[in-house]
Amino acid sequence: MPRTPLALPDFPWDALEPYAKRARAHPDGFIDLSVGSPVDPTPAIVREALSAATDAHAYPQTSGTPALREAIVDWFARRRGVDDLTVANVLPTIGSKELVALLPFLLGLGKGDVVVHPSVAYPTYAIGGALVGAAVVASDNPADWPEGTRLVWVNSPGNPDGRVLDVEQLKAAVARARELGAVIASDECYAELNWGGSEPTPSILDPRVIAGDRHSVLALYSLSKQSNLAGYRAALVAGCSELITELLGVRKHIGLIPPAPVQEAMIAALGDDAHVAEQRERYRARRSRLKPALENAGFTVDESEAGLYLWVTKGQDSWQTVSEFADAGILVVPGTFYGESPAQHVRVALTASDADIAETVARLELLA
């Protein structure tokens, strides 16, 4: 029989290429405010830890070294207010995107099951469901989550909109997931970039949310944003020990093992809060320049309470806004990539150099 390829949507970023080409032709240079890839240096303390671990002749541990697991536990207690984890509750991953995409498979979901994700969301949540043939439902209201739901994604701070879920909202989401017998996974990759203060946004594992009952609850976190480690592919998952054991077992079989030097780099990054605070202030300063410039140019900034992006609109089709930015030599992302319907917002990243942010502000003055 002929092979049937996976029925996946086109990769959305390919549709941006004509606009990127137009933006790159701008006489004063190209400014990329689309992907959100870090531009600042990886902290020296992390690079030194990686360098010291390059004699990695033996296979690394899929579970992470004992020192790494302890570092994750300590970090949750120190930075997330979650002080009741043990090493049985944590696991390193090869970046967070692989776990987002593979979690339905790793949990054994398939046809007839339902995966729920936020109504405006990172597209990989839906891709993970599609890979296993599950139905995918976009909904922010727990009351609307249907019977048959086996996995619920929440994302706080949200990508693309920077929306933050408070403790009561997280409690309601957990309660509904448990009514349905579903696993609930919280993607918290931007938690340290909270513009309401220096403390991280609430975790789904916070005692105020689950009162120590981690059953069927997972939290994902990435070091890409807080520590400029996007190129290291360094992330983690924590929560229900039964689920962690299940994930570990499958990951051992298929070889999803974080490289040993990266595990050592993660220990260094998780143990040092100073570089995180420094990076947060870099982004805060860029945001403080870019947000008013966008508003002065006629944009409304919605949500955007935390994270690496501003979620903005002029009340017109998002592709029209992308086109106008491209004419100014700036690349941004349309809301249509994230399921917004009708798509009127664009996502504008803070991950550009200070010089590029200053140039963006100058060009926005011409658009006002």
Residue 368: predicted pLDDT: 72
Domain check: are 223 and 331 in the same one?
Answer: no
CATH of the domain at 330: 3.90.1150.10
Residue 234 resides in a domain:
yes
Residue 8: predicted pLDDT: 75
Domain check: are 300 and 234 in the same one?
Answer: no
User: Which residue's structure tokens are 């030097």?
Assistant: 261
Residue 265 resides in a domain:
yes
Is the peptide bond prior to 43 cis by the omega test (within 30 degrees of 0)? no
Residues 43, 269 contacting (CB under 8 angstroms): yes
Neighbours of 254 (CB within 10 A): 11
Domain check: are 170 and 22 in the same one?
Answer: no
Domain check: are 221 and 293 in the same one?
Answer: no
Q: Which domain holds residue 232?
A: 46-272
CATH of the domain at 230: 3.40.640.10
Final residue of a domain: which of 225, 243, 272? Answer: 272
Domain check: are 99 and 158 in the same one?
Answer: yes
Domain check: are 157 and 256 in the same one?
Answer: yes
CA separation, residue 260 to residues 45, 50, 65, 225, 234 (Å): 16, 9, 9, 21, 11
Domain check: are 253 and 294 in the same one?
Answer: no
Domain check: are 233 and 297 in the same one?
Answer: no
Residue 1: predicted pLDDT: 65
Give per-10-residue mean pLDDT for the chain (368 aa). 70 92 97 96 98 96 98 98 98 97 98 97 96 97 98 98 98 98 98 92 98 97 98 98 98 97 98 98 98 98 98 98 98 97 97 98 89
Calculate the CA 133 to chain-centre distance: 23
Residue 11: predicted pLDDT: 84
Provide the token pair at 217: 């609850």
Residue 13: predicted pLDDT: 85
Is the peptide bond prior to 92 cis by the omega test (within 30 degrees of 0)? no
Domain check: are 351 and 255 in the same one?
Answer: no
Domain check: are 22 and 102 in the same one?
Answer: no
Domain check: are 50 and 94 in the same one?
Answer: yes
CA separation, residue 294 to residues 100, 297, 302, 334 (Å): 32, 5, 12, 16
Q: Give the DSSP per-residue string, 200-238.
A: PPPPTTSHHHHTT--TTEEEEEEHHHHHS-GGG-EEEEE
Residue 10: predicted pLDDT: 78
Residues 179, 149 contacting (CB under 8 angstroms): no
Domain check: are 129 and 200 in the same one?
Answer: yes
The number of folded domains in the chain is 2
Residue 31 resides in a domain:
yes
Final residue of a domain: which of 240, 272, 304? Answer: 272
Q: How far apart are the first and last CA of the chain?
A: 59
